[in-house]
Amino acid sequence: MSQPMNITALSIGGALIASLALAQGDPLAGAVAARHAHMDLYAFNLGVLGGMAQGAVAYDAGAATAAADNLVALASINQTNYWLPGTESGAVEGSRTKVELWSAMDDLTARQAALVDAAAAMQAGAGTDLVSLQAAMGPLGSACGACHMAYRVPN
């Protein structure tokens, strides 16, 4: 089975079809799309927590814990294949990433580690009570914003 595998086997899942388009069609656009999808999932899970923190949604320890668990899982995702050189703002439609990011990988790694820490703190607090959830929200927002402010072109 060292020859290219039968495409039929790959086409069972619609996701696979899309994935092959991403991988083989335009890798740079695919990488930017993956970044946006990843950010959307951060946003969705943060939204669950933010809605509770603001009092717009009733506190629910189980839902809050699930959202916090998911943030930790998302923050642990290996993003090497997302941040391809040549995908900065202006080079790929929809990208808002400053080109400076690619010469600041050590700083990016440190900020990513800070996000993991903030998500872990939320994971510890989210299921405890609303006050603990609220206390973890600010540092989590700051950890998100630290990368955005440094490496994202303002709207």
Question: 66 to 95, contacts with its own copies by CB under 8 A?
Answer: 66-67, 69-70, 73-74, 76-78, 80-82
- Minimum Å distance from CB 59 to its own copies? 10
- Minimum Å distance from CB 40 to its own copies? 4
125 contacts 135 by C-beta, under 8 angstroms? yes
Cβ neighbours, 10 Å, residue 48: 19
Full DSSP string of 68-117: HHHHHHHHTS--TTTS-TT-SBTTBTT--B-GGGGG-HHHHHHHHHHHHH
Which x/- pattern, by CB under 8 A, does the window 11-50 give for its own copies?
A: xxxxxx-xxxxxxx-----xx-xx-xxxxxxxxxxxxx-x
Rule CB under 8 A: is residue 120 a binding residue for its own copies? no
**DSSP state at residue 13:** S
The one among 28, 61, 63, 120 contacting its own copies by CB under 8 A: 63
Q: Which is nearer to its own copies, 18 or 91 (CB)?
A: 18
- Size of the chain in residues: 155
Binding residues for its own copies, rule CB under 8 A, total 72
